């Protein structure tokens, strides 16, 4: 009887320690309104392989939470070559809103809503390189890393 009681108490102690260590991850917790940075990857469509399109974006991205909605601000480099940038919004590929543009630096910042930072977001881009006559159309996925969310300074 005494041996069984010790085993039961030991089991409860172990379970208590396990539950005490479990924490709510940032992905499942609501993020307060404000400005943050977040790391992300640009992946080839339906894979975990990096896409070359990632070479045309700046890291990390800016995350703006406003009235509980999450918007990512992504800086596109070599902006003149990227002729289209769309993200999946409610099942439809939609042009990302241009927030700012710097012709001298050849960059632009686009904004789009990301309802779930833990899920891959489908995106589409078109690239035109005039000096070699190249046009490319790419379906990609953006994979955000919610555990890297940091308040912006």
- Residue range 22-77, pLDDT digits in tens: 333 444 468 999 999 999 999 999 999 999 999 999 999 999 999 999 999 999 99
In a domain, 128, yes or no: yes
* Other beta carbons within 10 Å of 105: 10
CATH number at residue 140: 2.60.40.1850
Tally of structural domains, the chain? 1
- Residue range 86-139, pLDDT digits in tens: 999 999 999 999 999 999 999 999 999 999 999 999 999 999 999 999 999 999
Identify any residues that bridge with 93 across adjacent strands, giving them in sequence order.
Answer: 88
In a domain, 134, yes or no: yes
Q: What is the residue range of 102's domain?
A: 26-151
Q: How confident is the model at residue 153 (pLDDT cuts 50, 70, 90)?
A: confident
Q: What is the pTM of this model?
A: 0.79
Taking CA atoms, 46 is separated from 50, 55, 134, in Å, by 11, 19, 24
């Amino acid at each position: 009887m005494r041996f069984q009681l010790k085993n039961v108490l030991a089991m409860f102690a172990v379970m208590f320690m396990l539950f005490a260590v479990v924490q709510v991850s940032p992905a499942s917790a609501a993020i307060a309104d404000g400005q943050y940075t977040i790391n992300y990857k640009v992946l080839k469509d339906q894979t975990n392989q990096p896409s070359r399109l990632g070479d045309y974006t700046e890291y990390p991205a800016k995350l703006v939470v406003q009235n509980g909605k999450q918007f990512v601000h992504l800086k596109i480099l070599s902006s003149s070559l990227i002729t289209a940038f769309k993200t999946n919004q409610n099942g439809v590929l939609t042009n990302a809103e241009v927030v700012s543009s710097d012709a001298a630096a050849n960059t632009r910042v686009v904004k789009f809503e990301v309802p779930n930072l833990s899920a891959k977001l489908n995106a589409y881009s078109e690239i035109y390189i005039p000096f070699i006559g190249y046009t490319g159309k790419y379906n990609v996925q953006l994979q955000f890393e919610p555990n890297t969310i940091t308040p912006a300074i």
